[in-house]
Amino acid sequence: MIGRPVNRAFRYRFYPTGAQAAELSRTFGCVRKVYNLALQARTEAWTLRQERIGYADTSALLTAWKKTEEFAFLNEVSCVPLQQTLRHLQAAFTNFFGKRAKHPRFKSRKRSRACAEYTRSAFRFRDGQVTLAKMAEPLDIVWSRPLPGGMVPSTVSVSRDAAGRWFVSLLCQDPNVTALPVADSAIGIDAGLEHLLTFSTGEKITNPRYEGRDRERLAKAQRALSRKQKDSSNRAKARRRAARIQVRIADRRRDHLHKVTTRLVRETQTLVIEDLAVRNMMSNHNLARAIGDASWSQFRSMLEYKANWYGRTVIAVDRWLPSSKLCSVCGTLTASLPLRVRTWACSCGAAHDRDVNAARNILAAGLAATVCGADVGPQRDTPGGRSAMKQKIPRREPQESPRS
């Protein structure tokens, strides 16, 4: 197979010196300040004068801000991350006007992600070492895996998470990503809570429930945090202790999903999933914690980009397909099937496991729609209407939960 260039980000942890940490902290603050100033300028221009200003206008404003006494501190950091945050704001407005995202919001010092992006003019990559602008020493990076041979990063992003860990992300164009050999296999995937995933083959992936395992430790840390005086050093320490538990949960969950999705993409040519409205389902306060812990949206995102890399196909079927109540043998639709019923028998004599039956129906619906020529590629609903898949599959009864 011939490789095709794919943009890949390789993230590594690094340990800055005191001077580097101070410089990066200043840069994060300046990036946040410029973003907020530009957002305010664009919002006021539209509100007061019905005028739209773009990246070029905000870039000119940045030059003017640097010349004022109030914002002279912006000259102390590299100009590249400041220009990049203006480009990010422009992209946010582009997505907003395209109805793909909400209106951009102001960045908070306490809640927003601390990150700065450097392009090639603002860093040096030599002999496996990365040196950023305004810094004399290279970053002390822990190379947990080597960069593929001959690859040079086009962009370097530095970030600090809530637990105080520092990361550097190297964006490279990797020509070595090749499509896997075509396989004559297809699988239907039903996402759930009792089991994270159930396949049409009958296999089930256990839900590890990482948040549930550390819930007691996290609750204890958060109670300790709530008792600390605001803006005190002890409160900052307690916040980091709670954050370390949360990032441990997130890291373990992400690692598990990477392993599952990589295995699926390697072994299967066509993967059929449900087009679940996870955001709407999170409004159910009885299940929101469990749904968030399962991280179905992250699973789908990983599955789609890996399938795109390696020449696989992901099909998303209508979320209203009565996959659990529909007999996968004879096609009979059961009138009612409460969530507590995990196994049931059809009038044709077939005995069904609820989740396996749903996965088989999801597979059949996806393959049938593909044969009929429906546009059911890896896409989500557009804001203006329902996907083409929804015109091919009958809707189920409104009173049944999408997870049934």
Question: What is the spatial distance between Cα 29 and Cα 25, in angstroms, rounded to a whole number?
Answer: 6
Pairing state between β 186-191 and 270-274: parallel
Neighbours of 177 (CB within 10 A): 18
355 part of the active site: yes
CB contact at 8 A, 82 and 74: yes
231 part of the active site: no
274 part of the active site: yes
Question: What is the spatial distance between Cα 60 and Cα 6, in angstroms, rounded to a whole number?
Answer: 33
Question: What is the spatial distance between Cα 24 and Cα 85, in angstroms, rounded to a whole number?
Answer: 15
Beta bridge partners of 353: 343
Tell me the CA distances in angstroms from 371 to 269, 364, 368, 386, 392, one per residue in order.
Answer: 15, 11, 5, 20, 11
Question: What is the spatial distance between Cα 92 and Cα 83, in angstroms, rounded to a whole number?
Answer: 14
Question: What is the spatial distance between Cα 225 and Cα 240, in angstroms, rounded to a whole number?
Answer: 9
Residue 14 φ/ψ, nearest 5 degrees: -140, 165
Question: What is the spatial distance between Cα 339 and Cα 401, in angstroms, rounded to a whole number?
Answer: 9
Question: What is the spatial distance between Cα 164 and Cα 61, in angstroms, rounded to a whole number?
Answer: 33
Helix (H, G, I), strand (E, B) or coil at 186: strand
Which of 23, 117, 275, 355 does the annotation list as catalytic? 355
Helix (H, G, I), strand (E, B) or coil at 203: coil
Pairing state between β 270-274 and 313-317: parallel
CB contact at 8 A, 106 and 39: yes
**Using the 8-state DSSP alphabet, how is residue 386 labeled?**
-
Which of 274, 275, 293, 318 does the annotation list as catalytic? 274
How distant is the alpha carbon of residue 178 from its chain centre?
23
Please give the structure tokens belonging to residue 263: 């295995």
Which of 190, 211, 275, 293 does the annotation list as catalytic? 190
Question: What is the spatial distance between Cα 118 and Cα 221, in angstroms, rounded to a whole number?
Answer: 35
Helix (H, G, I), strand (E, B) or coil at 356: helix
Residues marked active site are found at: 190, 274, 355
